A = this chain, B = another copy of it.
Amino acid sequence: MAKITPRASDYSRWYLDIINHAKLADYAPVKGCMVIRPNGYALWENMQRVLDQMFKDTGHVNAYFPMFIPESFLKKEAEHVEGFAPETAVVTHGGGKQLEEPLIVRPTSETIIWDMYKKWIQSYRDLPMLINQWANVVRWEMRTRLFLRTTEFLWQEGHTAHATAEEAEAETRQMLDVYAHFAEEYMAMPVIKGRKSEAEKFAGADVTYCIEAMMQDRKALQAGTSHNLGQNFAKAFEVRFQDRDGELKHPYSTSWGVSTRLIGALIMAHSDDQGLILPPRLAPTQVVIVPIARDEDERASVLAAAENIQQQLKGVGVRVKLDDDPKQKPGWKFAEYELLGVPLRLELGPRDVAGEQVMVARRDIKGKTALPLDGLAESISALLESVQQGIFERARDFRDSHIFEASSYDELKTIIGEEKGWVKAFWSGDPEDEARVKEETKATIRCIPFDQPETLGSCIVSGKPARYQVLFAKAY
């Protein structure tokens, strides 16, 4: 059986062991790239399905833009090129010849999309333009980690254009809410919504909003971002529309994205030393049925009952697998499906069949209970909801008990230094104070939470009057 390093002894090793043993991903022969294996990709497909529907329900449509961007495009928005140019992959040759202008493999698509919007947006009637793209992107990273930071990754990027600043701001906030809803209701991962500081915002944005989640090692993970780009890209690409009043104006824009890093977040938010723990709403298999029989006679009757249960559960939309492989022992299967994070395991032996019951083991808590076969579809559906809720609450309680309000800089340094958790503290808003914390503790301002106290104290670093209460943490 797979041996997983316990979290307590080496958290990073534990994370990689889970990915390896559960066959979620593998290192690729190209530096910094990964292969997303079928078990990992199935999680991404479920995330995509849910998110895509949420995007459509909020009026967005999908499209596809080229992955090659002329080098000159990147340079049109000053902050944008500064942020992204150092980490690009560059195509210099095509079809056996050197290219006149090198092509950048997209690190993000604002520039190529706004070059097209220039063609498509002429009038207020063309607005809002609400387009999303599912794509691969490349950022040349020095230090990579499977799912969390890879040279190539998969993501979605929404790019919208609006007639007014107000509409763009409303869109930016709406999409942050969509991400927060997805993280909490589907990933069962509590998040804090807030705004990035100037130092941490997206290169080219006026404002970046984010959702931040706490992992089990108490580090922060940025799980999604939504940017209000103001008129920056419209101006850089000279996009103008004729408004209702006849005036030519630059539209306002937003962009927002989440990526395959969410799979890493999902692993680190819930899993334990036995393997993955998956939220039922995203688990590829929600219920596994393991029949238990000592001989062929028992096997026939147990299998018939198991197939009956499988049909019942399928009938109410449960993703259920019946593992009747006779070559593996039940004990081996129990460990295997624990490793894979299947939320519920049903064990069915001859005595269960005779007693018209089944044994149910939850992946998230220890122990087994008997459930009557009568009304099983309903009780299993309720139990899946209970697991979903249970792991959310456990993650929320864990997070809430690891956020500390610090009142002195020494206290902050101790909490961060000993990796006790996040620090909630007052900040002057001065980038120099922010930079000092980063330099001295490696913690960054994860966000300025929307939820601010009524009165503010003084900056934890400089003692100056505070502008915000913020969250400091080390982050992935």
Least CB distance, A380 to chain B, in whole angstroms? 23
Q: How far is the CA of A337 from the CA of B369 in the complex (A)?
A: 58
Asked if B142 and A66 make an inter-chain contact with CB atoms under 8 angstroms apart, the answer reads no
Inter-chain CA distance A88–B135, complex, in Å, is: 20
- A112 CB contact (under 8 Å) in B28, B65, B102: B28
* In contact, B89 and A94 (Cβ under 8 angstroms): yes
From 52 to 81 in chain A, residues with beta carbon under 8 angstroms from any chain B beta carbon are: 61-70, 73
A102 CA / B140 CA spacing, docked (Å): 14
With known contacts A33-B68, A62-B38, A119-B26, A91–B105 Cβ distance under 8 A = yes
**A178 proximity list for chain B (CB < 8 A):** none
Q: Which residues of B contact A94 (CB under 8 A)?
A: 88-90, 140, 151
| Interface size range on A against B | 35 or more
- Interface check A95, CB cutoff 8 A: yes
What residues on B are CB-neighbors of A93 within 8 Å?
A: 89-90, 92, 102
Residue of B nearest to A154 (CB): B64
CA distance A63 to B154 in the complex (A): 12
Partner of A35, one of B65, B103, B135, B140: B65
CB of A316 within 8 A of chain B?
Answer: no
Q: Does A86 contact B (CB under 8 A)?
A: yes
* A38 close to B26 (CB less than 8 A): no
Check if A185 is an interface residue, CB within 8 A of chain B: no
Interface string of A42-53 (1 = CB under 8 A from B): 101100000000
A358 touches B (CB below 8 Å) = no
Asked whether any CB of chain B lies closer than 8 Å to the CB of A314, the reply is: no
Interface residues of A (CB under 8 A from B): 26, 28-30, 33-38, 41-42, 44-45, 61-70, 73, 85-96, 102-103, 105, 112, 115-116, 119-120, 131, 135-136, 140-142, 151-152, 154
Given A29-B112, A95-B142; 13 other pairs, CB 8 A cutoff: A26-B120, A28-B116, A29-B115, A33-B66, A33-B68, A35-B66, A38-B131, A41-B61, A41-B64, A66-B152, A89-B103, A95-B140, A95-B141
